[in-house]
Amino acid sequence: MPMEPEQYYSLAAAAFVVTCVVAAAVRGFHICRPYDRKPDYYYPGRKAVTVIYLTGLLLLPYVFFPESDGAWLLVKAYFLPLELYFLAILLFSYFGSVMHWRKWRRPTLILGGIALLTLLTLLTGPAVALIERGGGGNYDSVRVGNIIILVLGLFMTGVCLFSVRTVLRWTSQIDVEGYSNPEDFPVNFARKMVRMLLVTVVLLWVAALSDNRTVMAVLHLLMCVNAVGLLIQALHPHRHGAPEEEPEAEAQVYTYKLSPAKAKSLAATIRQMVEEERAFLDPHLTLQDVAARCGSNRTYVAGVFKTEFGGFFRYVNTLRLRYADEYQAAHPTASVSELADAAGFGSRQSYYKVKKALEQ
């Protein structure tokens, strides 16, 4: 006996729910060694990803009552404003942690909370239909619910695109951040995540505007693939440097400038450490490393790099390029990979990226 269309819709939703639960379990409990010693460094945003996967359980009413208007409205609410909101949280929780940028948390959570509260409040009427096997939802309340979903979807799309813009700005400004090697900021992973997010946004809007259960069932299956793909990408850490300690909270209170004498003294200390002691040959040297070894505050050190040396990234990699030229002169038969490794770039790709960036 052939299955009814509603049964296909239920199976597609069930596949998505099961995929989410399994992905949440793997992401929450599995950490590859030796990265389990510093999970917050190598897997930033891991807790947020786990919680977001678990929200797939919200679709259980649709799994059991796929014919219900209220359950259908719940699915559309999940796959537009909620999913868009989760995508923004994914980007911010991961790359915000990498950049030590926490300002996203309060406004994003407040805006998301307001939107979710509005959604739940205004969908109270349609939600009553969740317990009615035959649907029976009130047409007017369902129509109002659809309008609310679209309006909140537009709002969350704006939040999502803001997160994309922020991450792309970080990928283009790694030269002014605390990393001496482009590979230590997961640029390729960031761009891959942005592309995945933008494709997902398009799919979500296509499903929402079609208002068709068959299209939504296809979206369920595509989101299963998306969830598994994201999980596979996240299992291996995309940060290559040694774990650096979080800056002390007290460091945030140093907002005034160093005196000229202290700035000059700190610059001399930095030059001795980075240049004379050849710390620049460490392929994963970070601004935080320099600050710790100089016994100074990260904010002070960053300011001195900017004013005295033209920036951390530029100074360190200028020294590396100079050393690479010297090494090549001394070893004319050396390969580019050997040259890059000897000069502290870590890889041929990083050598070419830095060389291109600094010679523009």
Which residue(s) pair with 179 in the sheet?
A: 286
pLDDT of residue 1: 53
**Residue 69, SS3 per DSSP:** helix
**Residue 246: enclosing H or E segment and its boundaries?**
none
**345 CB-contact burial (10 Å; exposed 0-12 / middle 13-18 / buried 19+):** buried
pLDDT of residue 323: 93
- What is the residue-level pLDDT of the chain in tens, covering all 360 positions? 566 888 899 999 999 999 999 999 998 888 877 777 777 777 888 888 898 899 899 899 899 988 887 788 889 989 988 899 999 998 888 888 777 677 777 877 777 777 666 666 655 554 444 444 444 444 456 777 788 888 889 989 998 999 999 888 887 766 445 666 666 677 778 888 899 999 999 999 999 999 999 999 999 999 999 988 888 887 777 765 555 444 433 333 333 466 788 888 989 999 999 998 999 998 878 887 888 888 888 788 888 888 888 888 889 999 999 999 999 999 989 898 899 889 988 788 788 878 887 876
Q: Work out the end-to-end distance of the chain between its first and last CA atoms, rounded to an integer number of angstroms.
A: 69
Assigned token pair, 32: 């590859």
Walk me through the domains of the chain, giving residue ranges and CATH numbers. 5-235 (1.20.1070), 251-358 (1.10.10.60)
20 to 51, 53, 150, 204, 356: CA distances (angstroms): 10, 5, 24, 17, 42
Q: Rounded distance, CA 172 to CA 179, Å?
A: 13
pLDDT of residue 294: 87
pLDDT of residue 2: 62
What is the CA angle 215-154-66, rounded to 5? 30
Give the other-Cβ count within 10 Å of 309's Cβ: 18
Assigned token pair, 257: 């400038």
Do the Cβ atoms of 298 and 288 come closer than 8 Å?
yes
* Residue that the structure tokens 């919200």 belong to: 58
67 to 16, 60, 223, 289: CA distances (angstroms): 18, 13, 21, 59
What is the CA angle 243-245-250, rounded to 5? 165
According to DSSP, residue 251 is labeled G
pLDDT of residue 148: 82
**Residue 31: enclosing H or E segment and its boundaries?**
none
Residue type, 28: G
Q: Rounded distance, CA 29 to CA 316, Å?
A: 38
Q: Rounded distance, CA 50 to CA 176, Å?
A: 32
* Residue that the structure tokens 């640029």 belong to: 187
Do the Cβ atoms of 350 and 181 come closer than 8 Å?
yes
